[in-house]
Amino acid sequence: MSQFTMEMSITSAPRCTTTLGTRMPSNLQALVPKGHAHALLRDRKEARQPRRLACKATGGRVDRRDVLLGLGSAAAAGLGTRRGRGAIAAPIQAPDLGNCNPPELPNTAPDTNCCPTSGTGITDFVLPPAASSAPLRVRPAAHLVDAGHLAKYERAVALMKQLPADDPRSFEQQWRVHCAYCDGAYDQAGFPDLEIQVHNCWLFFPWHRFYLYFHERILGKLIGDDTFTLPFWNWDAPGGMTVPAMYANTSSPLYNQRRDPAHQPPFPVDLDYNEVDVVVPTDEQIDQNLRIMYRQMVSSAKKTQLFMGQPYRAGDQPDPGAGSMENVPHGTVHTWTGDPAQPNGEDMGNFYSAARDPIFFAHHANIDRLWHVWRGLRPGNADFADADWLDAAFLFYDEEARLVRVRVRDCLDLAAMGYAYQDVGLPWLEAKPAKRSGATPAPAAGALPATLGETVRVTVTRPQVSRSSKEKEEAEEVLIIEGIEVADHFNKFIKFDVLVNEPESGGDGASGYCAGSVALTPHMVRTNEKKGSVKTVARFGVCDLMDNIGADGDKTVVVSLVPRCGGELVTVGGVSVGYAK
């Protein structure tokens, strides 16, 4: 581990101990920022010239990728925010759609081509004209949609599915877009044979926001209704914790046969899904889901990097690290929905096929909503200010079948994009875990690096203990799981829980001892090293956890890595504690 490992700071840092209210404002539109200052200007021409950093450290030369893994988001906080001569990074640029590498899918997958129509004549995205008198388009909760909205949605999807297969607005082309950006089809501009991957990094939220935006606009155009909106699957609230009825109607164009037949309504979703259906009373499942949501949205998400994912710049290897929501419940809901009888969990259970299921868009609309909600939960919750995030670019087709280049900075204001979300309340804000103390932790057993064929418990030293309230406000304690490598990740869901001072009686992902989970949805990987191998790092904010389990004064803790799915394919290099400012 390099000398940089403990350094994890980021601009616009939320405070660790800010008291949370139990209710949100009655109108979520109030949370929409009224404008994002473009505070960071830079020379775009220079930004497109990726640079490498070399520095001295124990063991010799360190390249920029190694430094970023060690620094966490230090580059985001300082090195990457002010561009000029000697800058070390650059934003991910929009790919060349004509240079698409069809993923080498395994023989068990159907013969398919994930490369969308290439197209020419790129236009830069322009936000729709502001109209003070025009109301925002409101995306409704799927379980609350009225008959009129449902009829529009079904007609729009039916028309999209009827378009010629080579029409970039067609349903087939739409799902290919997700496959291409998520399964190694595109090279990074300037870095041949180095893939673009929009998951497991800070691009996850903005890329999917744009993807839904254009999908929604195309649907509206097909039915001649520019007020049309996609519904969101409200799985974070009791009323929405089943597959919405509109997607379970076998005669509807929203229906998909490749879903788990055991998970049809009224079976409640398990946000901590481990590929095993543990039948518990519905009220108990709801309570567990709400505790998961509180952890992922509140206690483990107090810093931008912890919620949104790690920096990913031009020249970087993919998968630097997912944020809290991308791991759980994003990954777990994907797998819970997909059909386990299919060889690769198709459709929702594998990235290459996920967007073939219309429910994908409702799932991600809720993810998009929760990004919006997170920014309003605490005064310090803010997006990255890093120019390499703001200027990251992608290509999509709009409702006129025009090829449009978008940049992250263009999607940060929902009101400017013309839409909002129905206010359905946030019941998980009241699901704070109870204090736990007095339990005897299971003894450490094992050493790292190790394969997670079974639970591995290691003793981890905490550099600082019993910090003052001010110190905790300034820096979140972060548990870092380093050197995660997953072999042959195409057809196997990977999940392991990370527990601190797990009692001898055991614990699970919803227990008060869980820092979080690593949950990786299968996808194709294209690297210059081991083919199909994912390498990543996981980070969990644990200020609240240490307090709740009575470990704030402990100089060491026992960290348990508990495999739930595919542990035999996972190796972990080490566990350490750092601090995010």
Q: Is the preceding omega at residue 25 within 30 degrees of 0, hence cis?
A: no
- Please, which residues have CB within 8 angstroms of residue 163's CB and are 6 or more apart in sequence? 169, 170, 171
Say if CB 268 and CB 282 are below 8 A apart.
yes
Q: Which helix (H) or strand (E) holds 561?
A: strand 556-565
Residue positions counted in the chain:
581
| Dihedral pair phi/psi, residue 239, rounded to 5° | -70, -20
Q: Where are the beta strands (DSSP E) in 216-262?
A: none
Catalytic site positions: 178, 199, 208, 330, 334, 351, 364
Residue whose entry in the numeric block shows the structure tokens 């203990």:
465
- CA–CA dist 181, 393 (Å, integer): 12
Instruction: Work out whether the CA dihedral 477, 478, 479, 480 comes out positive or negative.
Output: negative
Sheet holding 456-461, edge to edge: 456-461, 556-565, 494-500, 514-520
Quick one: three-class SS letters along 513-558?
Answer: CEEEEEEECCCCCCCCCCCCCEEEEEEEECHHHHHHCCCCCCCEEE
Number of helices (H), then strands (E), belonging to the chain: the values are 16, 19
Structure tokens at 293: 């949501």
Nearest in space to 180 (alpha carbons), one of 124, 228, 127, 114: 114
Quick one: three-class SS letters along 18-42?
Answer: CCCCCCCCCCHHHHCCCCCCCCCCC
Confirm whether residue 364 is marked as ligand binding.
yes
Say if CB 168 and CB 218 are below 8 A apart.
no
Distances (CA, A) of 255 to 19, 78, 139, 148: 43, 48, 20, 18
Say if CB 154 and CB 254 are below 8 A apart.
yes
Quick one: residue 129, left, alpha or beta (phi over 0 = left, psi -120 to 50 = alpha)?
A: beta
Instruction: Work out whether the CA dihedral 411, 416, 417, 422 comes out positive or negative.
Output: positive
Confirm whether residue 143 is marked as ligand binding.
no
Confirm whether residue 208 is marked as ligand binding.
yes
Structure tokens at 19: 């008291």
Q: Where are the beta strands (DSSP E) in 164-263?
A: 187-188, 191-195
Pairing assessment for the beta strands 574-580 and 7-8 based on DSSP bridges: parallel
Nearest in space to 392 (alpha carbons), one of 109, 129, 34, 95: 95
Confirm whether residue 363 is marked as ligand binding.
no
- Please, which residues have CB within 8 angstroms of residue 427's CB and are 6 or more apart in sequence? 236, 237, 238, 290
- Count CB-CB contacts under 10 A for residue 25: 11
Q: What is residue 62's three-state secondary structure?
A: strand
Distances (CA, A) of 128 to 133, 138, 397, 404, 421: 14, 16, 15, 13, 18
- Binding-site residues for Cu cation, in ranges, read 178, 199, 208, 330, 334, 364
- Binding-site residues, in ranges, read 178, 199, 208, 330, 334, 364
